[in-house]
Amino acid sequence: MAEQVRDVMTSDVETVEPSDSAVEAAKKMKSADAGAVLVADDDGDLKGIVTDRDIVVGAVAEGKDPSDVKVEEIASTDTTTISPDDDIDDAIALMKEKKIRRLPVVEDGEPVGIVSLGDLAQERDQDSALGAISAASPNN
């Protein structure tokens, strides 16, 4: 059984810059088959996270053109992070406490991965609905 965050995290995480458009973020999500991308500055430092829901609620539902909306306008910037060396139980506790579904994994200020509820469910509760759904092949 995996013990550290690095054992369950997605390490080939996509990033966008704060000045990128919501459309650019959506394209990266599509190519990565992911519901979120991390926001990093020119130096690679984590600045936040933007989700598919952020794009829909913060741009589309507001009647804004997603090509004109900058990621920095819709991203969550008060981002809770975890280290790849932290224990999986710490990630679970943190996500539960903060009521978040995705947790950026950061080392020396730079994003190195992301861990989701689905990742943790696959590792710790494979028989749960979330664990089974997360383990299934994409159907898109």
- For the chain, the structural domain boundaries read 5-135
Q: Which CATH class is domain 5-135?
A: alpha beta
- pLDDT for 12: 87
Question: Which of 81, 71, 21, 70 minimizes the C-alpha distance to 45?
Answer: 81
Q: Kindly report the pTM of this predicted structure.
A: 0.84
Q: What is the pLDDT along the chain (140 residues), one digit of tens a residue?
A: 669 999 999 998 889 999 999 999 999 999 998 999 999 999 999 999 999 999 999 999 999 999 999 999 999 999 999 999 999 999 999 999 999 999 999 998 889 999 998 888 877 665 544 444 444 455 55
Length of the chain: 140
- pLDDT for 132: 41
- pLDDT for 42: 92
Q: 101 and 116 in contact (C-beta within 8 Å)?
A: yes
Sequence-ordered strand ranges (E) for the chain? 15-16, 36-40, 46-51, 102-107, 110-116
